[in-house]
Amino acid sequence: MLRRLSIAVAGGLLLASAVAGCGGGDDAGSGNGGGGDDKITLGFSQVGAESGWRTANTKSIQESAASAGIDLKFSDAQGKQENQIKAIRNFITQRVDVIAFSPVVESGWSTVLKEAKDAGIPVILTDRAIDDPDTSLYKTFIGSDFVEEGKKAGDWLVKEYNGKTDPVNIVELQGTPGAAPANDRKSGFADVIKADTKFKVVASQTGQFTRTDGKAVMETFLKSQPKIDVLYAHNDDMGLGAIEAIEAAGKKPGTDIKIITVDAVKDGMTALSEGKINFIVECSPLLGPQLMDLVKKVNNGETIPQRVLTEETTFTPEQAKEVLADRKY
Ligand code: GYE
Confidence (pLDDT) at 26: 35
Using one digit for the tens of pLDDT, what is the confidence trace for 191-213?
A: 999 999 999 999 999 999 999 99
CA of 54 to the centre of ligand 1 (A): 6
CATH code, domain carrying 157: 3.40.50.2300
Q: Does any domain span residue 8?
A: no
pTM of the model as a whole: 0.89
* Beta strands 279-282 and 314-315, pairing class: antiparallel
Q: Does any domain span residue 5?
A: no
Confidence (pLDDT) at 193: 98
Confidence (pLDDT) at 30: 40
How many structural domains comprise the chain?
2
Is 133 in the same domain as 250? no
Using one digit for the tens of pLDDT, what is the confidence trace for 106-116?
A: 999 999 999 99
Domain of 152? 146-283
Q: Does any domain span residue 321?
A: no
Of 47, 147, 263, the one to substitute when testing ligand 1's pocket (max ligand atoms within 8 A of C-beta) is: 263
Is 156 in the same domain as 136? no
Using one digit for the tens of pLDDT, what is the confidence trace for 18-60?
A: 333 333 333 333 444 444 468 999 999 999 999 999 999 999 9
Ligand 1 contact, 263 CB (< 6 A): yes
Is 38 in the same domain as 125? yes
Which stretches in the chain have pLDDT values below 70?
1-37
Confidence (pLDDT) at 38: 84
Of 58, 189, 235, 262, the one to substitute when testing ligand 1's pocket (max ligand atoms within 8 A of C-beta) is: 235
Ligand 1 contact, 211 CB (< 6 A): no
Of 126, 209, 237, 282, the one to substitute when testing ligand 1's pocket (max ligand atoms within 8 A of C-beta) is: 209
Confidence (pLDDT) at 37: 66
Is 152 in the same domain as 129? no
Is 161 in the same domain as 220? yes
For the chain, state the CA radius of gyration.
22
Is 224 in the same domain as 253? yes
- Name residue 73's beta-bridge partners: 43
Confidence (pLDDT) at 292: 98
Is 75 in the same domain as 197? no
